[in-house]
Structure 1
Amino acid sequence: MGKGLGFIILNVFAALLLIGCSGEQDNDGQIDSGQYLEAKEAAWAYVNEQGWDDNAEEDWRSAEVTEVVASHRYELFEDAYAGKEVLRIQFHDPENVIAGTPAILMDSDTNKVIGYIPGE
């Protein structure tokens, strides 16, 4: 009976571990953005340069960072990035904004702006 009980406890523990780990990745690809301050800062500089900062909240550090696969439906500056995984940086807009701030696409290795997604 001791081996049977141990086997059941081990299986329950393994199931709980799997369930707990699977919940960590349910953020639509959102990643720990605290490590991407340089990318956020470069993206914010680009937003300012383009004059798109009028609608965005000024706290650029709170921008959401996600990993996406670049495609031709985005405004890419170089076609070579199509099909590659890049960072998407989305700044927060205040409520009741007609046109949102475009999301900025960044090369995660160089923190170079490679394109954008027009705001909605």
Structure 2
Amino acid sequence: MAGYSDDRWEAPQRAARLAAAVKRYKTSEMLRFIFATIAYDPDPDLTPLAVKRLCRALFGRTGSQWLIVEIFGVKGRQHRSVDSTPEAVEKMATRYRHAAELHWAATLAEIERVKRNYQTLVKAPGKREG
């Protein structure tokens, strides 16, 4: 969200763009967590389905399906991952749940911090009201 600018947008458009930026940030933080932790498990088979289920189990959301497929998809793959079964996902999620909760709390705190700074900036003297 660094470098976000709303100078050329009306209030409803700014709100929509900011909400979209927050969603992208949340998705990137979920995937960053998976890369920093679960990807180091003994050779996990992280397919888009496995990652989607892991995100749901660890963070309560799935994020951008397009981005997950772009990163974890393998063109022409024909066999299903054993790591994408609900049981395998829950086993991985159980192992990393505490770390994921800490990471997610820090992510949400960062979003709130940026949001407060943005609101202060918008309401500052000389700035237009949105």
Is TM > 0.5 for Structure 1 vs Structure 2?
A: no
Larger relative contact order (C-alpha < 8 A, sep ≥ 6)?
Answer: 2
Larger proportion of strand: 1
Larger proportion of helix: 2
Q: TM-score, normalised by structure 2?
A: 0.28
